[in-house]
A and B are shown apart, each in its own frame.
Chain A
């Protein structure tokens, strides 16, 4: 049950695009199309942004998109806005449990 690997930080200026990676193994990310991404502002409830690799829940801006290649999933935020500054966590189904990434702090410069 090792955590998925995410870069600890990412940044971009307003209007730019940024991509956050999430690397796992064939037992989690690579083995299932059940990768999710959550946005977390400290002190608040995490918010689902992407599920099943590429799907967006109702209400999530289309500036957020997800993809996967092999054992690595990615979250891309286009047209960065100040309110996008938060911690982002990936997660993957792993058979009988769920594994999360260590989190990436996204800073909007």
Chain B
């Protein structure tokens, strides 16, 4: 059974940092691209960042470029998102999702339940 379990969310101050993790099981982690998608309160889904199966290719939404860093550890079956210089508008539930392909991110067939990030003073 495929499982994706996010953690690391919580309350952060504007300008602060948080590190999200997503531990996966049930599939060969290194064979698939992964991504982070967020949902702000009352808003729709927003793609945040993606990483290829090898970890060599990464992409970011303009809204987080230069502030967030995506990475993966195939030994620990873990996807991470380092979030720096946090802003109030980063407040959202963050989901990790599995792509159906090794490099391109066109379709996400499994998702976690999400972890809530709140940025507030």
A residues with a Cβ closer than 8 A to B are 1, 3, 6, 32, 34, 36, 38, 40, 43-48, 51-52, 57, 89, 91, 93, 96-103
Task: Say yes or no: is B56 at the interface (Cβ < 8 Å to chain A).
Answer: no
A34-B44 contact given A45-B95, A45-B113, A97-B50, CB 8 Å threshold: no
Q: How far is the CA of A47 from the CA of B110 in the complex (A)?
A: 7
What is the number of residues of chain B that contact chain A, defined by CB distance less than 8 Å? 27
Q: How far is the CA of A100 from the CA of B37 in the complex (A)?
A: 10
Q: How far is the CB of A50 from chain B (nearest CB, A)?
A: 9
8 A Cβ contacts from B91-114 to A: 95, 97, 100, 104-114
Partner of B47, one of A40, A57, A98: A98
Task: Say yes or no: is B35 at the interface (Cβ < 8 Å to chain A).
Answer: yes
